[in-house]
Amino acid sequence: MRKDEDDLSPKTKQNFTLKELKNTWIAKNNSPCMFISATEKENIVELKEMLYKEVKKIHITRYPYDDFLY
């Protein structure tokens, strides 16, 4: 739920946009992360692609002669 621009009440966790959350998380932690919005269906495809890449890396490391995922 996004907060209206003219709303003067304090901002809560529910009022942050994905972009604001992403900026605060990355500022604190320099690891790869993905923020999704289930209510607005944002970044779902990007999450799938990121997960596939990570699983592929693990698979190649563990099973170098099995080309099932690549």
Q: Is 60 helix (H, G, I), strand (E, B) or coil?
A: helix
| Domain range list for the chain | 16-62
Is 62 or 26 the better-scoring residue by pLDDT?
Answer: 62
Instruction: Name the pTM for this structure.
Output: 0.52
- Work out the number of other CB atoms within 10 angstroms of the CB of residue 5: 5
Q: What is the pLDDT of residue 44?
A: 87
* Residue 42, φ and ψ in degrees, nearest 5: -100, 140
Scored b (16 or more CB within 10 A) or e, 46-69 reads: eeeeeeeeeeeeeeeeeeeeeeee
Structure-token pair, residue 57:
């890396």
pLDDT > 70: percent of the chain: 70
The 10s digit of each residue's pLDDT in 7-32 is: 667 767 667 777 777 777 666 776 66
Q: Is 1's pLDDT higher than 70?
A: no
